[in-house]
């Protein structure tokens, strides 16, 4: 791999920062210690720091040369609300909180890139280092945008990166167009008429209606959507009843919907309403249905994707920049930034060694071996996008 020796020289120090963040995880909009650490490190480098966007977000700005072009590099800082089951020295010290998605590594790699770029200054323009809070479910990316991120820090393009177990160390994965899905939720209460289990004809059984709805919802994917589309409609919770001989008054369902386009989001929501209302009406029940839009699909822009692919290929070879397994149906709130500015999102292989289990697992740990490669990718991206010429 083609990595500057000066990046290797800071590897151990950036690893120590990563492990310190891992040991002190903070959930969405509560990343005060992490934000303090980030801001202090940037200020020591002489990088201008702005705080408070998206509540706990941090933006560092580094200008070099005479160009008025600018790029944004984004890393997420928050942890997941879950217990860690690892036993190594840098395991979480906070009960119920864990860096199980590698945001500690993302933050550390971007800090490493800031250090290298502040030292080498081999570019002309401005780099905005965007340290975002609350990626996990709370929409910190949306909040930073709504707080005027790109008004205060205009960019020609914005870029994101996420580690991915299952891809080997030394491999990147990226595609143009959709790379991550929307992340929507639905909540349904079926209102029936309760009664004695021995006289079901005198009741309107919401459990029976729920069963029909659960099965019928699958027809949306299997019979109304092109089989080449990737869509998930999943019921993940069912709650009803309190006794075996009682037909309850209501049943509650909830679940997730994943799509790769706004068109599919609209289609699925419309069809869900039609299916639910039709079945309830057929059985004399009523429905209280809420479709809650979450993160929109993360859609890479063509030109920026080509640039990212070329930069990654320069580091690891074209054969190690892949599209295998993409797009994925997880959600990502970097999508809000890509709705506002051109850009691209890339995966960096986290390997299959110790801690190489999938993210959101209590045994997960970010692979510190990929830190130099992540730093090199960020710096090469800046030096290519903001070339001195």
Q: Which positions are catalytic?
A: 78, 135
**Tokens encoding 104:** 């500690």
DSSP 203: S
Q: How far apart are CA 327 and CA 334, in angstroms?
A: 15
All residues at 6 or more sequence positions from 218 whose CB lies less than 8 Å from its CB, including other chains: 233
Residue 279: which H helix or E strand, with range?
helix 262-283
**Tokens encoding 106:** 């993302």
Cβ atoms 373, 348 nearer than 8 A:
yes
Pairing of strands 250-258, 232-240: antiparallel
Q: How far apart are CA 109 and CA 99, in angstroms?
A: 15
Pairing of strands 70-76, 157-165: parallel
Q: How far apart are CA 54 and CA 247, in angstroms?
A: 47
Cβ atoms 21, 78 nearer than 8 A:
no
Going from the C-alpha of 197 to that of each of 203, 210, 245, the distances in angstroms are 9, 17, 5
Per residue, what are the HEC states of 318-386? HHHEECCCCCECCCCCCHHHHHHCCEEEEEEEEECCCCCCCCCCCCCCCCHHHHHHHHHHHHHHHHHHC
Q: Give the CA dihedral 170, 175, 140, 257, nearest 10 degrees.
A: -120
Angle between helices 11-23 and 103-120 (to 10 degrees): 150
Q: Give the CA dihedral 324, 327, 331, 336, nearest 10 degrees.
A: 120
């Amino acid at each position: 791999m083609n990595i500057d020796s000066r990046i290797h020289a800071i590897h151990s120090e950036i690893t120590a920062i990563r492990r310190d963040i891992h040991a002190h995880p903070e959930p969405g909009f509560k990343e005060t210690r992490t934000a303090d650490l980030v801001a202090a490190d940037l200020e020591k480098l002489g990088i201008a720091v702005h705080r408070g966007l998206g509540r706990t977000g941090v933006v560092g700005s580094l200008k070099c040369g005479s160009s008025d072009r600018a790029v944004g590099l984004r890393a997420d800082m928050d942890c997941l609300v879950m217990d860690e089951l690892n036993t190594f020295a840098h395991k979480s010290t906070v009960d119920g909180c864990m860096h199980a998605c590698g945001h500690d590594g993302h933050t550390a790699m971007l800090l490493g890139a800031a250090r290298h770029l502040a030292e080498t200054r081999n570019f002309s323009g401005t780099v905005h280092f965007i340290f975002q809070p609350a990626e996990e479910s709370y929409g910190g990316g949306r909040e930073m945008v709504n707080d005027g991120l790109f008004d205060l820090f205009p960019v020609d393009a914005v870029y994101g990166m996420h580690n991915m177990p299952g891809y080997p160390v030394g491999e990147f994965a990226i595609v143009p167009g959709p790379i991550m899905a929307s992340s929507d939720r639905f909540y349904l209460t079926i209102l029936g008429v309760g009664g004695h289990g021995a006289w079901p004809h005198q009741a309107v059984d919401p459990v029976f209606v729920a069963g029909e709805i659960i099965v019928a919802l699958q027809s949306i994917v299997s019979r109304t959507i092109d089989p080449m589309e990737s869509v998930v409609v999943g019921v993940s919770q069912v709650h009803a009843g309190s006794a075996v001989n009682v037909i309850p008054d209501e049943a509650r369902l909830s679940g997730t919907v994943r799509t790769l386009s706004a068109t599919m989001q609209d289609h699925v929501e419309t069809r869900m309403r039609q299916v639910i209302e039709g079945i309830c009406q057929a059985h004399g029940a009523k429905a209280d249905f809420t479709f809650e839009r979450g993160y929109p699909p993360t859609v890479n822009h063509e030109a920026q994707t080509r640039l990212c692919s070329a930069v990654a290929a320069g580091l690891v070879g074209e054969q190690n920049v892949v599209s295998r397994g993409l797009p994925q149906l997880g959600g990502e709130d970097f999508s809000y930034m890509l709705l506002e500015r051109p850009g691209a999102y890339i995966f960096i292989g986290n390997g299959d060694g110790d801690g190489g289990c999938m993210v959101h697992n209590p045994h997960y740990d970010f692979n510190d071996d990929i830190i130099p490669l992540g730093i090199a990718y960020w710096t090469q991206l800046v030096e290519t996008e903001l070339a001195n010429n």
